[in-house]
Structures are given as C-alpha cells and as structure tokens.
Structure 1
Amino acid sequence: MEKMEEGTNKTNQEIEGHNEEIEEQDIIKLEKLENERKELLNRVVSGNIINIRDRVAYILNNSIDARNSDIDLAWSYWKCFESNKFDGVHITKEQFGNLTRLSSLSRIRAKIQNEYKLFQADDTVKRYRGVLEEDKKNQAIEDKPRGLGMYSVYIDETGKTQSYLSVGSLWILEAGASLILSNMELGDWKRSKKVNYEFHFAELDRFRVALFKDFFTKFLTLHPAISFKLIVVNNKGFSDKNAAITDLTYHLLSKGVDHENETGRAPLPRVLQVWLDEEEKGSDELKIENIKERITSQKIEGLHLGDFQSVSSDENFYIQVVDLFTGAINRKLHNPNGSNFKDDFADYVIDSLGFDMSSINKENNQVDHSTVFNLRQQEVK
C-alpha cells in the first residue's frame, strides 16, 4: 500500500513538474511574440522596411481595404514594392507568375493580424474569417467605407516640470513607396555623416548643431506635404501634469482633424492613427485609452479610429523630428532671449517653418481654451 501511495505521489509530482514546464514554455513563447510584435510595429511606423513581413505590415498600416481583403493587399503590395513588374492597372498571366504569391501575402497578413494583433480588419471580415472575439459576436457591427485615407500623426510632449506644457505633432496624409525611399535616403545620409546617435533636442551640443540643422532641412525637403501642429498651455494650477498632457493631446488631435477637414487639405472621411513617443508602458496605455475614449465620444462624422500606440524613437525619424520641433518651441518659450547653440538651433527650426512665437498666448492656463497652431511647410530655407 505504501509503495502504491509512493508511486501515486511520484506521478503527481511528475505531472506538476510537467505542467510548470508547459507554463514556462508558454511564457517564453508569449514574450517572443510580444518582442516580434514590438519590433515589427517600430519598423513599420518608422518606415524602416527590411523584409517581406515588414512590407506587408506597411501596406496594412496604410490601407483599411488591404486589412479587409487579400486581393486589395496583394494589389497594393505589388504596386508599392514590385512596380518594376506591375504597372498598377493591368496584369498579364506572365506578370502574375512573377509577382509575390497571393497565398504568401495572405499567410503573413493572418499572422500579423491574428498573432500580433496589429492592423486589424473590420469586425464583419473577422467574423467571416472566423477570428472575431466571442464578446463581440452579438454586438452591432459598423464597417468602415472603402478607400479611406489616413491621418498618421506622430506626437511628442515637453515641459512637465517647466512653466509651459507643449504637445507637438507631425501629420502625414499620404503613404506609399516614396515615404520608404525618403527614410532610406535619410538613413544613407546619416551613415555617410557617421552619425551613430538619435536626433533629440535634449542631446544637442555645440559640436552637433550643423548636423542637426542639416538633418532637419533634409527631412523637410524629402517630406514637402507634411505639416506640424502644436498646442501650448501655461503650466500653473495643474495638480496632475499627466492629465493635463492627455487633455492637450486630445485637443491637438480633435482640432487638428477639424483643420485638415475644414480647409479641404485632407477632408473626412479618414482613419486617424496616432503614434506617441514611448515613455512608460503603463502610463502610455492609460493616456492612449483616455484620448481614444474622448475622441470616440465626440462622434465626429467620417472619422474612424485606427491604431493608437506608443513607439520607440530608435530609427524613427518622424518621432525624432517631432522631438526637435517641440524642443525648439519649448526652448524659445522658456528662454526667449537666449543666444547659445541651443537657441541658435531653435531659431533655425522656427524660422524654417515660418512660425511666429509671439502668436502663443503665454498667459492661458485653460486647456480647453488652448489654440492649435498649424504649421505647413511651404519652402525650405
């Protein structure tokens, strides 16, 4: 009897050990998946496209139609990345055989959407594909119309511990191979100059001013259709600075969309995608959810929310340029008569964009009354 109990205990111990081993393997697998997801997201939103998975994700990021249809995905992929084989209008049987296979693109798309949970299809499509989450199956479904354009917005903030809070943003309204080529050209320029650091205003020193100016000018030259938007408030009376930053970011996005729509520069309907400079995971997620909830509550006709994510500034020239822009405004707000190398660079950025610092109301400390300044690049000096 004792031997039987001993054998039973041993078996139970083996089972427990086996279960723990399985749990550990699952944790390792999930961590690997999350690292792959994060790496892919950072590559895509920075335009640092390396392989076929990056290219498929890039198309999905910029096309709601491609998220919902593998035919649209393939058509956009061929047009963007294989234009030497496909003119974007007609296709012959011979050309079709030389293009990346539809089945390969579909398989990669499924992994990106189902495993990485990025660039999701509409719920109706997910239901058809059999991947709609259980808690959504009985909900009313509202699909996005076809052919939607994008507002891709990159955001940075500054001034939490200073007299003025500022949130700056870069708005990109069109996507395609040209953005990838521009990113590659900037990367080549950076390597040719033997630059092994990121471009951040806080890291500027007197020996790097010329390179920082060259980088900013080259970025503007390669991206003539971009715009910058800024919102500022006097930083007094706010007990919760993070909440104030969240409010400012919401107003920047809401008023920015209104401006693009009302001027006819990028009219609705469109999808709004937002990329924030990564800080702390928990606070970033809370900020993002608060902003999305407030924008959703406004029920802006024709505005559909896409991905809102915090991303690394590493190799992301868009985030770095927003950092330089916001840092320059912040410098002149707090040190208007300064004359050292940082003031020189701040003046260069502001002059390049034709911005009048005197237009900022420095006395305003009401977030809801804050003005969004829209700066469109007209001419690179």
Structure 2
Amino acid sequence: MEDQNAENAYRPADAPEGEAAVDLEVKRAAARLKAKESLIASLAGGDFSNQQTRVAHILNLHPAARNSDVTLSLKYWETFQPELYNPEGIKPADFFKLDRVPFLVRARAKIQNEYELFQAEDQIRRRRKNREDDMREAVLGDDAPRQTLQVFSDETGKNEEHVIIGSVWVLNGRAVYDVTKAIKDWQAGSKFAKREMHFSAFGRGDLHAVDEYLNIVAANREYLSFKLMAMPKRNTRRSIEEIVQRLHEMMLVRGLRHEIESGRVGVPRHVGVTVDEEQSIDRIVLSEIRNTVAEGVERAHLDGVTLDERFNAVSSKESALIQLADVIAGAANRRLNFRGDRNFKDDIADRIMDVLGLQLEEGVAAEIDAAVLFKI
C-alpha cells in the first residue's frame, strides 16, 4: 500500500491510467504520423507556405544545418529572407524582422526528434550543447548544398488515343523554392489568384494571362527541364493503370540518362519524384515505380544517382510545379489527341509548346537540350 501511495504521489491528479493512457499514446502517435506525412507532402510538392516546411527544406539541402542551429538560421535567412540577410553584417534593426532563432530551433527539433527526419550526426545528437567550436567551423566552412534533382509529373489522355506523361525537372533544390515563389508571386496579382493553373480549365479569355505565366516560367528556364512521354494505346493490351506506371518508370530512367549525358546535371545527384495525387497511382504503385527506377539506374550505369527512399503524391492545389506539369501535359494532349475544329484551346496549346520549346517529334528541340519527347 505504501508503494502504491508513493507512486500515486508522483502522478498528476488528472493523468490517465491503464487503457486510457495507452489510448492516449496511440492517438498521439497517430497525430505525429499524420503531421510527419503532411510535412513530407509539403516538402515534396514545393509548398513553402509554413515555417516548418521551410526549415525542413534547409535541413534537406544543407546537411551541416542538421548539426548546427547557427548554420540552420543563416541558411534559412539567406534563402527565405534575402532582402534582410547580409553575409557581411545584418543591421541590428533587421534582426527584429528576421524569423526568430528559437522558433527555427523548435521546428528543427520537432522535425528531427519527433518525425525522425534529417537527423544530426550521432555525436551531435548526444552532445548538442557542447559543440560551439564545431558549429562555428561548419558555418565558416559554408559547405556546398546537397545536389538534388526534383521531378514533378502529371498524366493525361487516359481515355484518348495517346497516354501522355508530362514532367517538370527542377535541376537543384534551391530552384524548387525560387521557381515556386516566382510563380506564386505572379499568380497572387493575376486573374489566377484564386484558380489553379490547369490546362483543362483555361478559358477563351485566358490567353494573355497564360502568356504572362509562361514568361515567368521561361525566365527561370535555366533551372528547368521539360519531358513528355507518350504512347498510343492501340499498341498494347495492358490496363491503363499499368501503362501509366510503365511510362513513369521509362520516363524517369531515360530522362535521368538524358540530363546526365547532355551535361545539364552532374553527379552525384539525389533524385526525388512527386506526382499528382489524383493520378491512377497509389503508394504501392509509387513504391514499385521507385524500385524499378532504381534497377534501371543501375542497369544504365548512372553512377552517383541516388533516389529518395520513397516517391510522393501530393495535391496539385499545394504545388505550383505539379500544376506546371499539368499545363505542359495538357498542351501535348491537345496536340496529339484532339481531332475537332480548331479553337482558343489550340492557340493556348501552341503558345505553351512554343514558349517552352516543347515538341512532338522524338528527340531534343532545336537549340534547346532541356525539352524532349520520348515515345515507345
């Protein structure tokens, strides 16, 4: 009885006991998993609307930031608040405008400790508070960011003659943020402020706004590649789901080989893939695509190419780059599959194909090594 009384003395009066405590922990674990999945989806989709995703982006690109909160803060300010950050010295007044270090540290701790993502080195995790000298060395060393390539893809034409995969290849991690920000900044002041960019939703009066949109994309062309994969359904008896899966697999392997052999990207290069969650691809299929692509990379001797542990599906609503993949896939679909009378949709499709250098003959477009169509 004395032992029980002693135990109760250290338990808060409202603390759950027995099955209630187990249920509470299960609910907390489920909430953590849901929050972790949401973070991964935001990061994969290029949705930088909240601070936690922005911190995760820095941890992903800059391994030194996983070990050093000073490095994390400086890289965060340099990336997301460049108008205030000055490597030669930040004005005292500007410190009050920068995102606060304690908030960045709290987000980093949650990402690493609760979600177990972008972990610090073991010795740092054990003795984080006693590493000031190493932290200073990491900051002054200014290690190069991890070299990444992120692919965003969408499908169309499942009920048409040709099935088409459209994809946007972003050639480094920083560009995912830069291109997304450029598009969203333009979109906020445009007629598309409350609309997604989808080819199927473009109307008769949208050509001028689409022109503006394409000019924003073209201004960031050095960071981007566009690839299309097309296949006529008459050549196969496979199900549409299997066709879409195989097209993704071939597009990714052939696309990686094209990027490396053309010299647009070097190795080592870490590759992530994000698809529209409305595609006919679930997590099992995504896992199969990832494993098949890994085997294809090995067979193609693309040494130095590594893949994310998993590929991701996100809502196009949250990703400007998934929407861009939809736009180029829709333009190709209009050209390849439409047989009716010409109208404003054809004008928009022509403008997209011309401005972005897309073509419907296999191979690279003239003088543009970043736009290619693969056919099988």
Q: Does 1:273 align with 2:272?
A: yes
* C-alpha contact (below 8 Å) 2:152/2:322 kept by paired residues: yes
- The RMSD of aligned alpha carbons is 3.7
CA distance in 1, matches of 2:287, 2:176: 28
- Indicate which of 183, 195, 198 corresponds to 1:197: 195
Give the 3-state SS of the residue equivalent to 1:205 in structure 2: coil
* C-alpha contact (below 8 Å) 1:155/1:277 kept by paired residues: yes
Q: Which residues of structure 2 form unaligned runs of 5+?
A: 1-15, 127-142, 372-376
Task: Please report how far the alpha carbon of residue 40 of structure 1 lies from its aligned counterpart in structure 2 after TM superposition.
Answer: 3.2
Give the 3-state SS of the residue equivalent to 1:207 in structure 2: coil
Q: Structure 1's 313 and 68: CA in aligned 2 closer, same or farther, altered over 3 A?
A: farther
Deviations 1:191-227 (A, max 9, x none): 3234311111222232334333332332322454211
- Indicate which of 169, 172, 177 corresponds to 2:170: 172
CA distance in 2, matches of 1:351, 1:336: 20
CA distance in 2, matches of 1:161, 1:268: 38
CA distance in 1, matches of 2:319, 2:277: 11
CA distance in 2, matches of 1:156, 1:38: 21
What is the 5 A alignment of 1:50-69? 50-67=49-66
Deviations 1:222-270 (A, max 9, x none): 4542110111112142322222211211111111111221222111111
Task: Please report how far the alpha carbon of residue 175 of structure 1 lies from its aligned counterpart in structure 2 after TM superposition.
Answer: 3.4
* C-alpha contact (below 8 Å) 1:59/1:76 kept by paired residues: yes
Q: Structure 1's 148 and 181: CA in aligned 2 closer, same or farther, altered over 3 A?
A: closer
Q: Structure 1's 46 and 246: CA in aligned 2 closer, same or farther, altered over 3 A?
A: closer
Q: Does 1:310 align with 2:313?
A: yes
Partner of 1:241 in structure 2? 240
Q: Structure 1's 28 and 169: CA in aligned 2 closer, same or farther, altered over 3 A?
A: same
Partner of 1:255 in structure 2? 254
Q: Structure 1's 191 and 231: CA in aligned 2 closer, same or farther, altered over 3 A?
A: same
Partner of 2:211 in structure 1? 213
Partner of 1:351 in structure 2? 354
* C-alpha contact (below 8 Å) 1:47/1:183 kept by paired residues: yes
Q: Does 1:156 align with 2:154?
A: yes
Q: How many residues align?
A: 330
Task: Please report how far the alpha carbon of residue 327 of structure 1 lies from its aligned counterpart in structure 2 after TM superposition.
Answer: 0.9
Q: Structure 1's 86 and 35: CA in aligned 2 closer, same or farther, altered over 3 A?
A: same
What is the 5 A alignment of 1:95-174? 105-116=104-115, 118=117, 120-121=118-119, 125=121, 129=125, 147-174=145-172
Q: Does 1:292 align with 2:290?
A: yes
CA distance in 1, matches of 2:114, 2:364: 38
Percent of aligned pairs sharing the same letter: 29
Q: Structure 1's 184 and 81: CA in aligned 2 closer, same or farther, altered over 3 A?
A: closer
Q: Structure 1's 325 and 68: CA in aligned 2 closer, same or farther, altered over 3 A?
A: farther
Q: Structure 1's 342 and 117: CA in aligned 2 closer, same or farther, altered over 3 A?
A: farther
Partner of 1:6 in structure 2? none
Partner of 1:326 in structure 2? 329
* C-alpha contact (below 8 Å) 2:196/2:317 kept by paired residues: yes
Partner of 2:345 in structure 1? 342
Letter in 1 for 2:53: D
**TM-score relative to the length of structure 1:** 0.72
Partner of 2:136 in structure 1? none
CA distance in 1, matches of 2:245, 2:69: 37
Q: Structure 1's 308 and 67: CA in aligned 2 closer, same or farther, altered over 3 A?
A: farther
Q: Structure 1's 318 and 117: CA in aligned 2 closer, same or farther, altered over 3 A?
A: farther
What is the 5 A alignment of 1:2-41? 21-22=20-21, 25-26=24-25, 28-30=27-29, 32-41=31-40
Partner of 2:134 in structure 1? none
* C-alpha contact (below 8 Å) 2:154/2:279 kept by paired residues: no
Q: Structure 1's 239 and 181: CA in aligned 2 closer, same or farther, altered over 3 A?
A: closer
Partner of 2:370 in structure 1? 376
Task: Please report how far the alpha carbon of residue 75 of structure 1 lies from its aligned counterpart in structure 2 after TM superposition.
Answer: 4.6
Partner of 2:78 in structure 1? 79
* C-alpha contact (below 8 Å) 1:231/1:372 kept by paired residues: no
* C-alpha contact (below 8 Å) 1:155/1:319 kept by paired residues: yes
Give the 3-state SS of the residue equivalent to 1:273 in structure 2: strand
CA distance in 2, matches of 1:75, 1:328: 41
